[in-house]
């Protein structure tokens, strides 16, 4: 169709935003009785149903919520593809205050909207959502993962994936994958960070930890014999490996001038403040950046095991494949002189394209 003044989609329209990264479907959910205001985004279902958590957040405005759900759902397509799962990418956001506005009716109403997609979208927990909230969602739909008593806390699987990926990066950077004697700083020793510290100290690494929670910090330092380092001081530590396991965007203009490490490998999402800038800068500095969405896929692997009724052992074995994927990404990055994040994106796209060809003829 030729774009005319009448039929041309306005550049800032919602459908136009969907076309930018080829999102398949958006569902706007509104209900006066419960006060529910939510958006479900299905980015891509070529590999399978779109799986991704629901985030509850007090967005400043609808445009912010829409932008977040579009960005996050696309991220899930890449993560699920690269993890080798038969899952597409999706995400949901509920606009509201997770501390004061949660109740059974709200989540059951949301569950009805999830159910209306008939399995095209599978939800789970994300920021602001607890397993109890998912129990309410589950009263209205079976398309939920992360329920209590099922696959359980994903953090041990996530931490194991980060650990094996870190070893694979060490092999590429230092010639062997032993982490014994390596100086490693783990930023954030919450759910994932503490399991990671356990793996690292067991292997004989010299582990430094930081966290804003003093009690957690002391507890983990004592339990695993890790050394405590200041919240900001961590960026100046002369270390082999920096493992961000708390916040996003810690690889930025400021920290890149300070970081003295050979590898960056951690669980936090969106570690590069700006992929196109900082993903290139890390490579120029000779640091191996292990792409976060590939390294932290243990969480979604755990969800997939729950959805497909697979064992905990299956999930750990699948997370172990992160070693091989890390190796492939770093080798391709060196060969093509291209940043690791870009190679990871390419590999995710290649799989979707290849499987798309298999699925076309019915």
According to DSSP, residue 123 is labeled B
Helix (H) / strand (E) element for 264: namely strand 263-264
Question: Sign of the C-alpha dihedral, residues 322, 323, 324, 327?
Answer: positive
313 carries an active-site annotation: no
What is the Cα–Cα distance from 296 to 325, expressed in whole angstroms? 12
What crossing angle do the helices spanning 214-224 and 191-202 adopt, rounded to 10°?
A: 20
Contact between 30 and 96 under an 8 Å Cβ cutoff? The reply is no
Two structure tokens written together for 26: 């958006």
Q: How many residues bind ligand NAD (CB under 6 A)?
A: 24
Identify which of residues 267 and 348 has a Cβ nearer to ligand NAD in the complex: 267
Regarding 246 and contact with ligand NAD (CB under 6 A), the answer is yes
Residue (206 or 211) nearer to ligand NAD, CB: 211
Q: Give 29 or 189: the residue with its C-beta nearer to ligand NAD.
A: 189
d(CA 70, CA 85): 21
Which residues 333-362 are close enough to bind ligand NAD by CB under 6 A?
none
Q: Applying CB under 6 A, which of residues 80, 296, 326, 345 lies at the interface with ligand NAD?
A: 296
One residue of 94, 192, 283, 352 binding ligand NAD per CB under 6 A: 192
Which of 5, 8, 79, 91 does the annotation list as catalytic? 91
299 makes contact with ligand NAD (CB under 6 A):
yes
When the beta carbons of 283 and 297 are compared against ligand NAD, the nearer one is: 297
Q: Which stretch binds ligand NAD (CB under 6 A): 62-70, 89-97, 170-178, 242-250?
A: 242-250
Task: Tell me the C-alpha distance between 341 and 289, whole Å.
Answer: 8
Nearest alpha-carbon partner for 193 in 233, 238, 234: 234
Binding residues vs ligand NAD (CB under 6 A)? 154-155, 158, 187-193, 210-213, 216, 231, 245-247, 267-269, 296, 299
Catalytic positions = 91
């Amino acid at each position: 169709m030729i774009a005319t003044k009448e039929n041309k989609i306005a550049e800032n329209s919602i459908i136009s935003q969907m076309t930018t990264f080829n999102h398949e479907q958006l569902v706007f959910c509104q209900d006066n009785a419960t006060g529910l205001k939510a958006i479900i985004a299905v980015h891509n279902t070529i590999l399978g149903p779109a799986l991704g958590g629901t985030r509850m957040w007090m967005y400043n405005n609808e445009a912010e919520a829409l932008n977040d759900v579009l960005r996050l759902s696309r991220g899930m397509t890449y993560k699920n593809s690269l993890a080798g799962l038969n899952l597409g990418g999706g995400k949901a956001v509920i606009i509201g205050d997770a501390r004061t506005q949660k109740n059974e009716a709200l989540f059951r109403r949301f569950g009805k909207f999830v159910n209306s997609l008939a399995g095209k979208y599978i939800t789970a927990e994300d920021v602001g959502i607890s397993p109890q909230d998912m129990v309410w969602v589950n009263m209205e739909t079976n398309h939920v993962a992360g329920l209590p008593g099922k696959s359980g806390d994903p953090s041990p699987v996530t931490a194991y994936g980060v650990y094996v990926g870190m070893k694979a990066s060490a092999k590429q950077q230092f010639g062997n994958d032993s982490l014994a004697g390596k100086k490693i700083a783990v930023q954030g020793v919450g759910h994932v960070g503490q399991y990671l510290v356990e793996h690292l100290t067991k292997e004989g690494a010299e582990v430094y930890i930081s966290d804003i929670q003093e009690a957690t910090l002391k507890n983990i330092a004592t339990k695993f014999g890790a050394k405590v380092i200041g919240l900001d001081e961590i960026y100046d530590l002369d270390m082999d490996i920096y493992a961000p396991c708390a916040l996003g965007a810690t690889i930025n203009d400021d920290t890149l001038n300070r970081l003295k490490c050979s590898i960056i490998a951690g669980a936090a999402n969106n570690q590069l403040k700006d992929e196109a800038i900082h993903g290139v800068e890390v490579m120029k500095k000779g640091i191996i950046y292990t792409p976060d969405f590939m390294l932290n896929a243990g969480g979604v692997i755990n969800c997939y095991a729950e959805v497909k009724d697979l064992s905990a052992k299956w999930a750990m074995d699948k997370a172990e494949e992160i070693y091989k994927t890390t190796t492939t990404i770093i080798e391709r990055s060196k060969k093509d002189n291209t940043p690791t994040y870009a190679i990871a994106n390419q590999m995710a796209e290649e799989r979707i394209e290849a499987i798309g060809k298999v699925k076309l003829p019915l």
